[in-house]
């Protein structure tokens, strides 16, 4: 049996472990959202306004912002500026009016693009490279620090996704099924 695409290496470099852990979080999150209807992606628990569709949009934005803006120093794309509007959390509002096809495509395409982008950064500059973002004292965050922040964001929201998905159809578990196809390939 071959190793599932989302399984981080058992032995490897720091880069391989960090990017492998990030890919595992991405895959686990995406698996929690997989195969749902438009309505199911809008489902929320009574105690929260979070939806799986909103989380797909939010994590696509977080990926874009962490790597494109914070690490690469680019402007946020006009498409994202429009989606966000004048609202803090505008991506969640935008997602409520989108189809599952649109939300899956947004997330999957963003992850594919960011994986390539961060792979290039790490290969050419390393984890210790300074990012474009700096703290109030002028210290610039390293690429490593911002990737760890991205992992933390995934950890938080994958837990949210787990609860929402379980309430929909009982799907639970840590990892995708071993034969689940890679949506980012």
| pLDDT score for 1 | 63
| pLDDT score for 2 | 81
Inter-CA distances, 101 with 29, 65, 79, 98, Å: 17, 22, 17, 8
Query: Which ranges of the chain would DSSP assign to H, the alpha helix?
Result: 14-33, 38-42, 52-63, 78-84, 90-95, 100-125, 143-169
Architecture of domain 14-169: Up-down Bundle (1.20)
Residues of the chain with pLDDT > 90: what percent? Answer: 82
Yes or no: say if 128 and 143 are a contact pair by the CB < 8 Å rule: yes
- 53 burial (CB, 10 Å; 0-12 / 13-18 / 19+) is buried
Residues of the chain with pLDDT > 70: what percent? Answer: 99
Question: What number of residues does the chain have?
Answer: 185
User: Per residue in 7-24, pLDDT tens?
Assistant: 888 999 999 999 999 999
Taking CB atoms within 8 Å and a gap of at least 24, the contacts of 90-93 are: 91/54, 91/57, 91/58, 91/60, 91/61, 92/49, 92/50, 92/51, 92/54, 92/57, 92/58
Count of Cβ atoms closer than 10 Å to residue 12 Cβ? 12
Every domain of the chain and the residues it spans: 14-169
| pLDDT score for 88 | 83
Q: What contacts 18, CB < 8 A, 6 or more positions away? A: 127, 144, 147, 148, 151
């Amino acid at each position: 049996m071959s190793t599932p695409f989302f399984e981080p290496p058992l032995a490897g470099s720091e880069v391989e472990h960090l990017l492998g852990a990030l890919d595992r979080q991405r895959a686990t999150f995406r698996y929690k959202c997989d195969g749902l209807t438009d309505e199911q992606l809008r489902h929320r628990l009574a105690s929260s306004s979070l939806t799986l569709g909103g989380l797909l949009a939010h994590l696509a934005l977080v990926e874009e912002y962490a790597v494109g803006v914070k690490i690469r120093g680019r402007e946020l794309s006009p498409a994202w500026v429009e989606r966000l509007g004048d609202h803090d959390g505008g991506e969640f509002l935008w997602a409520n009016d989108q189809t599952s096809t649109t939300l899956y495509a947004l997330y999957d395409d963003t992850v594919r693009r960011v994986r390539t982008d961060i792979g290039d950064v790490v290969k050419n500059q390393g984890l210790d490279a300074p990012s474009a973002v700096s703290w109030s004292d002028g210290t610039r965050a390293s690429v490593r620090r911002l990737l760890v922040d991205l992992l933390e964001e995934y950890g938080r929201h994958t837990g949210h996704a787990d609860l929402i998905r379980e309430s929909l159809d009982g799907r639970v578990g840590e990892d995708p099924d071993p034969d689940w196809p890679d949506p980012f390939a």
